[in-house]
Amino acid sequence: MPRCLALPLSLAGLCLVLLLSGCGDASDLGVAAGRYRLQIQGAVTDTLAGPAVLRSARDARVGLELGTRDGPGLSMAFTPRGTGGAPDAATGRYDVVRAALLNAPRTDSLPGLVAFLSLPDARFEATEGHVSITRAGRGAVGGTFTLEMTEQAPALPTSRTIRVTGSLRARRP
């Protein structure tokens, strides 16, 4: 093979390998650091996006605030498995549990998740689903979630349900 063709062919081969193997992180969440995006379907349909903040809470609980304090958004709290509440070691799947189980005494508490969605005219609580924390580092977490939620409106004869899916990359303020 002529020498003038060897370099372009080897560059083309390298580009093909990078294209086939994928450049960057295979678990790319599609949201920027410190942001979230979610889809709501069911009795209410909407798409929300905005800031995502990681907060450590009392009793080794990790809190995630998706949205602004005064606007619509999703609040999640979970208890990491055996990490002493350290969000940088919290990778894994956390299933929705009743708030009473998450608030149990430290020796009885289960790893789990509670979540609440606030909209301008409604508030929903997670009844089923999970969050998967796929990345964890110093002061930051990333993950995806799928939640079945029921409206918290005792005055209504029937409660509305929704399904919320999305991704997040939260970091400490």
Q: Which residues of the chain have pLDDT under 70?
A: 1-29, 57-60, 81-89, 99-110
Whether 103 maps to a domain, the answer reads: yes
**Whole-number pLDDT of residue 84:** 57
Whether 142 maps to a domain, the answer reads: yes
Residue 27, H or E segment: none
* Separation of alpha carbons 111 and 61, rounded Å: 10
**Whole-number pLDDT of residue 135:** 83
Q: How many domains would you assign to the chain? A: 1
Range of the domain at 146: 26-171
Q: Residue 102 is part of a domain; what is its CATH number?
A: 2.40.160
Residue 13, H or E segment: helix 3-21
Report which of 36, 30, 46 is spatially closest to residue 124, judged by C-alpha positions: 46
Whether 37 maps to a domain, the answer reads: yes
- pLDDT tens-place string over residues 38-58: 999 999 999 999 999 998 755
DSSP 105: -
Q: Is the pTM of this model over 0.85?
A: no
Whether 107 maps to a domain, the answer reads: yes
